[in-house]
Structure 1
């Protein structure tokens, strides 16, 4: 996956339609070699992952506060299945709570991203997060690089 010509499969899980549209727009501007799928909540995420023939994503951007199934509940469920071990999970939230950051790290998230308000900052964060994932696909993430900062 270190080859940038290989498509990166990205799955965004966010209940905010505006956030999904902005995310899609930014990825479209950044890289033509990204296959983006989007779901509205945690239940749809788990349905997607468990449906045969759906390609598994390289990375899931996971909002914490969603209806039906929270981001933390999804994270715990995903990390309880060995077949999802190679999927990177980026928590993608407005929360800056130390408890949320600690909980998601403890439950196996790879990166924690606080959603910036400005479009240009969001673009920088997404670009950096995808670069970090590409570089770390075959290696371990750790606490020192968990909270992604620009």
Structure 2
């Protein structure tokens, strides 16, 4: 289960917006830290809960004691239950299907992107090679989230990488 140290508010001092409740499903601890640091640098007030695989993500989403997230970020390649399988379960669950799901991957292969789009992902983000790139990507993702553009993803805007920001 998730320990309380996994939930960390980012940008606690900012009061312009209600903090975004985020679940990050990512098995790499360094990538978890990079994500949280990039959120802070992007000035996204947030509360992040981290899980390390797709099964923990499903369990957390179904846990009545946990608040519903505003958005979830799912690494495509994780142990126990991969991101695609978790996405499929989330989008086929009537209680969870409306939570925006952003897929994260180092790969940008068109068939992977197409597959996650078909399974109901709202956005596919290629993990950037730099911290600055991650900050820019998160700014774009949250701009899309706050403008409700993730509610009905358009295929040509579905893939985000450092090169197309």
The TM-score, its normalising length taken from structure 1, stands at 0.91
Supply the distance in 2 between the matched residues of 1:138 and 1:53 (Cα, whole angstroms): 26
- Is 1:44 the equivalent of 2:51? no
Which runs of 5 or more residues in structure 1 are unaligned?
none
Moved over 6 A (4+): none
Alignment partner of 2:34 out of 4, 10, 22: 22
Q: CA offsets per residue over residues 80-117 of structure 1, 9 Å max, x none? A: 11111321111111011111100000000000100011
TM-superposed CA distance for 1:35, in Å, is: 1.1
Alignment partner of 1:34 out of 46, 69, 92: 46
- Is 1:9 the equivalent of 2:10? no
- Is 1:112 the equivalent of 2:124? yes
Supply the distance in 1 between the matched residues of 2:128 and 2:45 (Cα, whole angstroms): 24
Supply the distance in 1 between the matched residues of 2:150 and 2:138 (Cα, whole angstroms): 20
Supply the distance in 1 between the matched residues of 2:136 and 2:18 (Cα, whole angstroms): 22
Supply the distance in 1 between the matched residues of 2:23 and 2:97 (Cα, whole angstroms): 15
- Is 1:64 the equivalent of 2:76? yes
Supply the distance in 2 between the matched residues of 1:86 and 1:137 (Cα, whole angstroms): 13
Alignment partner of 1:122 out of 131, 134, 143: 134
Supply the distance in 1 between the matched residues of 2:150 and 2:114 (Cα, whole angstroms): 24
- How many residues are treated as equivalent by the alignment? 147
TM-superposed CA distance for 1:29, in Å, is: 2.6
Q: 1:129 to 1:101 in 2, by over 3 A?
A: same
Greater shift, 65-74 or 54-63, is seen at: 54-63
